[in-house]
Amino acid sequence: MPNENIPKLYHSGLLLTYYFMHLDGDADAARLQRFIAASVKNADRMQAYEKEGEAYNKAVEEFVKHPDVKDMGDGNYRFPSTMKAPVPPEFPFDCKPEELPFKELEILLEGRSKDALIKAVEAALQKKNLLVVGGVADSDR
């Protein structure tokens, strides 16, 4: 069964995009452009991290095949101190992986609280008669 919220989420996404392109700040989409640029940089860093992770996984596969490496179970291995185990890549961001989608949100907020932004979006969209409340556009009331 398809998610019933998808049309609402799609509509909300369109309205937010319109707001950040045409109504926010100087109505020049500057914040949105900075947000997208930062997100693209993050995506590039994440792709590099994933490639490093793939290389690490291959190195571990080869390492555990060595005859001096003994599988102790539960993902633990014993090996001579003369051998060095592969080192996993460090996560390249100063946040948890699950927080990454929100890392650059401050660019859009620009010092505003989330509640203040929501109020600004609602007010701007209502002024343009783009906000539907309870199934009726403000201009239809």
Domain-by-domain residue ranges, the chain? 11-136
- For the chain, which residues score pLDDT lower than 50? 136, 138-141
CB 105 within 8 A of CB 36: no
pLDDT of residue 45: 97
Give 96-129 pLDDT, tens digit per residue.
999 999 999 999 999 999 999 999 999 999 999 9
pLDDT of residue 25: 94
pLDDT of residue 3: 83
Which tokens sit at 81?
């101190």
pLDDT of residue 140: 47
93 vs 87: CA distance, rounded Å: 18
pLDDT of residue 4: 85
pLDDT of residue 131: 81
